Amino acid sequence: MSATPEAVAREWFEQVWNKGSEEAIDKYLAADARMHGLSGPDGKPLLGPEGFKPFWRQFRSAFPDIRISVARTISEGEFVAVHCHVSAKHLGHGLQVAPTQKPIDIWGMGMARIHNGQVVEAWNSFDFMSLYQQVGILPALEALPS
pTM above 0.85, yes or no: yes
* Residue 89 CB-density burial (10 A; 0-12 exposed, 13-18 middle, 19+ buried): middle
Neighbours of 59 (CB within 10 A): 17
Domains of the chain with bracketed CATH = 5-134 (3.10.450.50)
Separation between Cα atoms, residue 18 and residue 86, nearest integer Å: 10
Please name which of 85, 72, 79 lies closest in space to residue 119, comparing C-alpha atoms. 79
In tens digits, the chain (146 residues) has pLDDT values of 468 999 999 999 999 999 999 999 999 999 999 999 988 888 889 999 999 999 999 999 999 999 999 999 999 999 999 999 999 999 999 888 899 999 999 999 999 999 999 999 999 999 999 999 999 888 887 766 76
Furthest-apart CA pair in the chain: how many Å?
A: 57
